[in-house]
Amino acid sequence: MTLLGEFALWMALLAGLWGAVVGFSGAWRTRPELASSTIRSVYATCAALLVASIALWQGLITHDFNIEYVASYTSRNLPDSYVVTAFWAGQKGSLLFWATVLSVFAALAQALTSRRHKELMPTVAAVTGAVVVFFVATMLFAANPFDRLGFTPADGNGLNPQLQNPGMVIHPPMLYLGYISITIPFAFGIAALLSRRLDSGWIVAIRKWTLLSWLFLSVGITLGMWWAYVELGWGGYWAWDPVENASLLPWLTMTAFLHSVMIQEKRGMLKRWNLGLIFGTFMLSIFGTFITRSGVIASVHSFAQSNVGYFFLAFLVLAGVFGFTLLYTRWPQLEPEAQLESVASREAAFLFNNLIFVGIAFSVLWGTLFPILTEAVRGVKITVGPPFFNRVNVPLGLLLLALTGIGPLIAWRKSSLANLRRQFIFPVLLGLVTASVLFGMGMREGSAVLALGLIGFVAGTILQEFYRGVRARIRMHGESFPVALGLLINRNRRRYGGYLVHAGILIYFAAFVGSSFKITQEATLAPGEFTEIRSPFGHVYRLTHLGVSQYTALNRIVSAATLQVEIDGKAAGIVSSEKRQHVDSFNRKTFEPSTEVGIRSTLREDLYVVYAGSIGGTERANYAVTVNPLVWWLWFGGGVLVLGGLITMWPGGGRTAVRSGLTRTQGATVEPAVEEAVPV
């Protein structure tokens, strides 16, 4: 099967090259059969890569340890689910996964895109073909997943224990799906520029793709936070690690695009900016892979490093020069079809929102690369860690939070003062009341009070929008509240799904604020001994060490340390944390003992217990205990965000008002909620 896999890779390379060369040459414009051939090359590439993937999976499942990749990332006693997901545990498999999924997306884009855009499709095929060719060539010439060893080991090395976690089964694919699907909007952008079809048609064609990409990235990032929290054992979920930052960067620019694209759809403005955002997002997704793979910046994700990072750097530069040069040459044809009329308009609010999104992206990128810059300029190595990023980005995050509330309250084109007053009174009051109540309850951390006050303000805007929309429906149609709410969302999924996304983001922010109050304490306990830790909410945990039990399970020796939990004297169950010594099928140690945290999660806070080790090989145990407020809400916020995203991208949901501003009476102001309840 490895021969078949390698052969399939070569076939994918040739098919992708054919599609790219013919598509970019433009010969298909005069010879329709070449257009069909270009598009068929996409399907051929996809089929070849699926065969290659099946071949690698076959090697993994049959424990063919003669394949270097299989021997490096699996062992005979590795649980089946991790054998299957070891496909993307290492770099070579990840590259194959990336190329295969991209080819599937490229094929879906060809199959599902409306015939209205058929003029763009050969060029779209060429761009996706070129990107696939890059990945396949990288595999064939630098990181071939089908490389064979000169001998066949009796067993493999096994999978890194930190990757033996359900989060890692799904987190990397989700993140990859986000990175990969960005290629489709990028391809449409290039196709629009090359074919000079520079109206807003291509934007419509990629709307679902950009949302899908954003959704995958959001899920991938959230699952990454969850994995870091439950697996790494440091009691947090975001450490501003370069690889984490690399996943955040395209998410930020993609989110900016999802806002600014509405201005292009409604007013025919920001065409250049939107193309720039799409190109930038694509480049940042490649940059993320470069950071992950090159090791140019120190990261906790060092297990993924190799020399292919510089292939990505070269590709990044090439794609950037090509895309932005093309944009420059089409600059005059991308004139806006309307002008901004007022600073007090939703267009202006979205522009400032875009500024902050891109500003935060720049700030994160700047901080990530600043050590390299400093070393180049001063010859001194420095570290840019969480204190730096928090100091620079927290104010920007708060500004963004405020704009999240302000934007939707302002009407398109222009808002009157009376309109603004009417829109802002309730949310501002809610924000002020929230901050005052928290201050009155004794919270004195300025940034926390400010953040929670702003959360109150934005929550007020969302509630107000829903309330007014529902009220308008009840008045017009006499519907009951639940029916009106359901139909309100159903008839304008994009807008109200968007509000749910905003609600999800608010919940994230609340959880972030909570994490600033976390408390960590260490203790050494013999069986029967206890330690106490006071929660930021005031109650006291008493944790009694019950002992350590050891047993073998699957591919590991487990040492489980257990604590009995009492809260203010009342029994609250037990929490166990484990040490896992992984072994191969010959019972040989494969890695250093890893830690599995014990978590008692409630809506209020998490009790997060780490069994740090034993005193002299006895049941006397060292524990690191953290009380982590509001963490549960982070995962809940992720769910709300995904729900909102799904509602937004669900097919149907009423007519989208493209360029509707031009059909309305000049200068008329319509309250946003009412406007969207009755899309004109």
Partner 1 sequence: MISRRSFFTSISALLVGGRALHAATQGSPGGDPEAPADRLSIPEAVQSRPAVVEGDNNGIIQTVEHKLKCTCGCNLDIFTCRTTDFTCTVSPALHRQVVALHENGATPDQIIDAFVTEYGEEILMAPPPEGFNLAGYLVPGLAITAAGTLLAAILMRRQAAAPVPAPVLTGAANVSAEDQARLERALSEVVD
Window 575-634: residues binding partner 1 (CB under 8 A): 579, 581, 592-593, 595, 610-620, 622, 624
E strands within 147-280?
Answer: none
- According to CB under 8 A, which one of 117, 259, 272, 414 is a site residue for partner 1? 414
Convert residues 271-310 into a mask of x (bound to partner 1 by CB under 8 A) and - (unbound): ---------------------------xxx----------
| Closest to 594 measured CA to CA, from 610, 608, 607 | 610
Q: Which is nearer to partner 1, 116 or 391 (CB)?
A: 391
Please report whether residue 25 would count as binding partner 1 according to CB under 8 A.
no
What 3-state DSSP class applies to 300? coil
> CB of residue 524 vs partner 1: minimum separation in angstroms?
4
Q: What is the DSSP letter of 560?
A: E
Rule CB under 8 A: say whether 523 interacts with partner 1: yes
In angstroms, how far apart are the furthest CA atoms of the chain?
A: 84
562 with 546: CB under 8 angstroms? yes
User: Residue 107 or 677: which CB sits closer to partner 1?
Assistant: 677
Please choose, out of 171-179, 414-422, 426-434, 566-574, the segment that lies near partner 1 by the rule CB under 8 A. 414-422
Q: Which helix (H) or strand (E) holds 640?
A: helix 631-649
Instruction: Provide the minimum distance between the beta carbon of 24 and partner 1 in the complex, in angstroms, as a whole number.
Output: 35
Q: Does position 526 bind partner 1 by CB under 8 A?
A: yes
Q: What is the rounded distance in angstroms from the CA atom of residue 638 to the CA atom of residue 645?
A: 10
Binding-site member from 391, 425, 436, 445 for partner 1 (CB under 8 A): 391
| Phi (first) and psi of residue 196, to 5 degrees | 60, 25
H helices of 241-385, in order, are 242-267, 271-294, 309-329, 346-378
The interface with partner 1 within residues 629-668 (CB under 8 A) comprises: 665-668
In the complex, minimum distance from the CB of residue 416 to partner 1, in angstroms, rounded to a whole number: 5
> Is 418 one of the binding residues for partner 1 (CB under 8 A)?
yes
CB of 178 to partner 1, least distance (A): 24
143 alpha carbon, distance to own chain's centre: 26
- Binding piece for partner 1, criterion CB under 8 A, among 11-19, 190-198, 218-226, 373-381: 373-381
By CB under 8 A, tell whether 379 contacts partner 1.
Answer: no
- Using the rule CB under 8 A, is 169 a contact of partner 1? no
Contacts of 73 (CB under 8 A, 6+ apart): 86, 89, 90, 93, 156, 157, 158, 159
Q: Is 400 in the site for partner 1 (CB under 8 A)?
A: no
**C-alpha to C-alpha distance for 23 and 125, rounded to whole angstroms:** 7
The one among 559, 562, 577, 628 contacting partner 1 by CB under 8 A: 559
Q: Does 480 bind partner 1 (CB under 8 A)?
A: no
Q: Which of residues 227-256 bind partner 1 (CB under 8 A)?
A: 232-234, 236, 239, 241
Is there binding between residue 524 and partner 1 (CB under 8 A)? yes
Residue 200 DSSP one-character state = S
Minimal distance in Å, beta carbon 629 to partner 1?
17
Residues 437-476 touching partner 1, rule: CB under 8 A, are 475-476
The Cα 162–Cα 159 span in angstroms is: 8
Amino acid at 124: V
Figure out which of the listed residues 81, 550, 587, 601 binds partner 1, where binding follows CB under 8 A: 550
| Binds partner 1 by CB under 8 A, chosen from 112, 314, 343, 662 | 343
Choose between 322 and 370: whose C-beta lies nearer to partner 1: 370
Task: Please answer whether residues 5 and 51 qualify as being in contact, where contact means their C-beta atoms are separated by less than 8 angstroms.
Answer: yes
Query: 3-state class of 563 per DSSP?
Result: strand
What single-letter DSSP state applies at residue 228?
A: I
**How many residues of this chain bind partner 1 (CB under 8 A)?**
89
Residues contacting 517, CB < 8 A, separation 6+: 445, 448, 536, 629
DSSP state of 663: G
Applying CB under 8 A, does 356 fall inside the site for partner 1? yes
Closest of 364, 424, 373, 370 to residue 396, by C-alpha: 364
Sheet holding 594-596, edge to edge: 530-534, 540-553, 556-567, 570-582, 594-596
Kindly indicate which of the ranges 67-75, 124-132, 362-370, 451-459 contains the residues binding partner 1, using the contact rule CB under 8 A: 362-370
Which residue in the set 3, 112, 317, 382 belongs to the binding site for partner 1 (CB under 8 A)? 382
Q: Does 385 bind partner 1 (CB under 8 A)?
A: yes
| Residue 417, burial from CB neighbour count under 10 angstroms (0-12, 13-18, 19+) | exposed
Residue 347 C-beta: closest distance to partner 1, Å: 9
- Tell whether residue 317 is a contact of partner 1 (CB under 8 A): no
Residues 93-132 within binding reach of partner 1 (CB under 8 A): none
CA angle 426, 252, 453 (to 5 degrees): 25
Q: Does 669 bind partner 1 (CB under 8 A)?
A: yes
Residue 542 has which token pair? Answer: 């008493």
Asked whether position 374 contacts partner 1 by CB under 8 A, the answer is: yes
Residue 381 binding partner 1, by CB under 8 A = yes
